[in-house]
Structure 1
Amino acid sequence: MNLLGKKILVTGADGFIGSHLVEALLDKGCDVRAFVYYNSFNSWGWLDTLPPEKLKNLDVFSGDIRDPNGVSTAMKGCDIVFHLAALIAIPFSYHSPDSYVDTNIKGTLNVLQAARQHNTERVLITSTSEVYGTAQYAPIDEKHPFQGQSPYSATKIGADRLAESFFRSFETPVVIVRPFNTYGPRQSARAVIPTVITQLLSGAETIKLGSLSPTRDFNYVKDTAQGFIELAEADAAVGQEVNIAMGEEHSIKDIADILISTINPNAQIISTEDRMRPEASEVFRLIGDNQKIKSLTNWKPKFNMESGLHDTVDWFRVPENLARYKAWLYNV
């Protein structure tokens, strides 16, 4: 499928990955409608930081993914939907699981129902590597068992299986896109890399983190966005669930050490109890197998860990960007 000439909707367009995906689609010359979360400030989230020449080509729809009427209205006339709207913070899901069910499961159901109603040509549902839980074997391919180790991951498992059921029951042209840990400019401070960078750039000598031993497979955000685009273009991906992964493993401590050496070599790391996940909920190892996406598309990562972290730190060094973050708080 060629995306040019198609009307494309991106839900969660105001968020971290969503804003980068919108920007990549605009750079490609696509006709994009951005679904952003309605608020009284008329904020478009991270889209507000895009250059005016890009924003003038963007069709923005304010709504709530939990509202089926608004979702249907937004999807009317769209050929392709990238569904990224979600609640994603794991600690917040411990005490507010109802909101995760409403947003992640019911929100996805709204998108799938509207896709049936409007005969949408392709629907890309955003999953997460957290659905796998701690690796039972490595690298993790798409046949790995699912394990809901947090309310967040459980709702994403539920949303994925709903998407699968719509493909099997109604032939809804669904692709389940499963990024591993994405990082880069604009990421929320609830994630480990922005947490470390913002503490360091704010002058902290003691960097507070949770557990240091878990490992993750980190994708730079531009590579993740490109993976979404290439999977949308791949007809053979319909009905599939596909990892977007580097296939590399880095511990939280390793990443923190790299950032400390880059920004302030005198800083020290401490693990604090309030930042620890419950032991049975902590995902101790994630490393993805990327053979499937490579077999279906021409995707391959353009950024390694060094270049991705370099670009991320440079973005945070811009005063107006750093000022958006509350480095002194633990962001759940």
Structure 2
Amino acid sequence: MKRRIVVAGGAGFVGRQLVRKLLDRHLVCVVDALKFGNRFGESESTNIVLEKVDIRDWRSVSDVMERFRPEVIINLAAIHFIPECERDPVHAEEVNVLGTMNLVRACPAGARFVFASSGAVYHPDSAPHDEAISAVEPADVYGMTKLHAEHYVRYFAKQRGLQGAIVRLFNVVGPGETSPHILPEIVHQLKAGKTRIRLGNVWPQRDYIHVEDAAEGFRRVALYGDIPAGETKLVNLGTGKQYSVSMILDELRSLTALPIEVEHDASRARAVDRPFLQASIARIQADFGWSPRQNITTALADLWRNPDFAPSLVEQLRNR
């Protein structure tokens, strides 16, 4: 069944891949501030309703919703690079919380609202993280904004009879990155011919999910599964496995055959860095029939073969 779907943040890292998965069978409106530009191909752009909108602007958001009348809204729009959130917490709060509130308030009655939250809402020292039993205690501004926004999604879903879905996304990897996370940092330095690379912390362990798997997870939560009106389902979206940066470097040594060495750079180390982040994914498998299809080796190989970084990210990495 063809549906009318709004993807906020649809021009971003995960958003582009998700929109591509939806275009063939659905009517898609991308709502995006275009901070990283319009990176859709010409043939894709002709099949997308593209609205350049800052989701903090209630009037613009409500106008798009009234004109497009979506049946499904997927909110991927966020300030999600943790150092950026720490530098400007007010901006992060405005985009991640106020922006989400604007979108969910503007939803047509009966619509499904899918919110991209984060594994960063969990207590930093417990893993694997289970939606039902793991402690929720963010360790940084980003995690706090996501948890704050979750509360509004639940509140307005109940108040307005929406089908709510909160998807706690873990670390995404693959072609198309927009922010200077550690894996784009590593690949950029290696592609520049450096085998002695400068990094911050290499001990934290993360659950890395391929961008294609992440996009497919959001597609399934948006289109499948039963969510009663007024209720909100909560699921993790990851792989159920975690890797340290040191382990990632071992994978890259095998993949590239390069003699990679690491030089610790204190300026690149995060002041706030959790030791573990690993998803329990049984709930999304049971409720929405999704499971990861790619592993870390495939994700790194795809990233190495075709980084496809946003131009602004390439410029940031050059200047670091």
- Same fold, TM-score > 0.5, yes or no: yes
Question: Normalization by structure 1: what TM-score?
Answer: 0.88
Deviations 1:206-232 (A, max 9, x none): 211111110001110111111111111
State the match for 1:94 in structure 2.
Answer: 86
Conserved? CA contact 1:189–1:325, under 8 Å? no
Structure 2 letter corresponding to 1:304:
N
Matched position secondary structure for 2:52: strand
Matched position secondary structure for 2:303: helix
Match of 2:191 among 201, 219, 224: 201
Conserved? CA contact 1:198–1:322, under 8 Å? no
Cα distance in 2 for residues equivalent to 1:322 and 1:157: 30
Q: Which runs of 4+ in 1 moved over 6 A?
A: 320-324
State the match for 1:292 in structure 2.
Answer: 283
Conserved? CA contact 1:197–1:313, under 8 Å? yes
Identify unmatched segments of 5+ residues in structure 2.
none
Matched position secondary structure for 1:243: strand
Deviation at 1:323, TM superposition (A): 9.7
Question: Normalization by structure 2: what TM-score?
Answer: 0.92
Matched position secondary structure for 2:106: helix
Matched position secondary structure for 1:78: coil
Deviation at 1:189, TM superposition (A): 4.3
Cα distance in 2 for residues equivalent to 1:299 and 1:152: 26
Cα distance in 2 for residues equivalent to 1:155 and 1:239: 18
Deviations 1:284-303 (A, max 9, x none): 10111000001112211111
Deviation at 1:171, TM superposition (A): 2.8
Work out the percentage of aligned pairs sharing the same amino acid. 27
State the match for 1:20 in structure 2.
Answer: 17
Structure 2 letter corresponding to 1:248:
K
Conserved? CA contact 2:225–2:288, under 8 Å? no
Matched position secondary structure for 2:197: strand
Conserved? CA contact 2:178–2:312, under 8 Å? no
> In the comparison of the two structures, how many residue pairs are matched?
313
Match of 2:96 among 93, 98, 104: 104
Deviations 1:258-305 (A, max 9, x none): 224433522311221111122xx3111011100000111221111111
Conserved? CA contact 1:199–1:207, under 8 Å? yes
Instruction: Tell which deviates more after alignment, 228-237 or 13-22.
Output: 228-237
Say what the alpha-carbon RMSD is for the aligned residues: 2.0
Output aligned runs, 1:119-198, within 5 Å: 119-136=109-126, 138-143=127-132, 144-198=134-188
State the match for 1:37 in structure 2.
Answer: 33
* Alignment pair present for 1:214 and 2:207: no
State the match for 1:59 in structure 2.
Answer: 49
Conserved? CA contact 2:110–2:161, under 8 Å? no
* Alignment pair present for 1:274 and 2:280: no
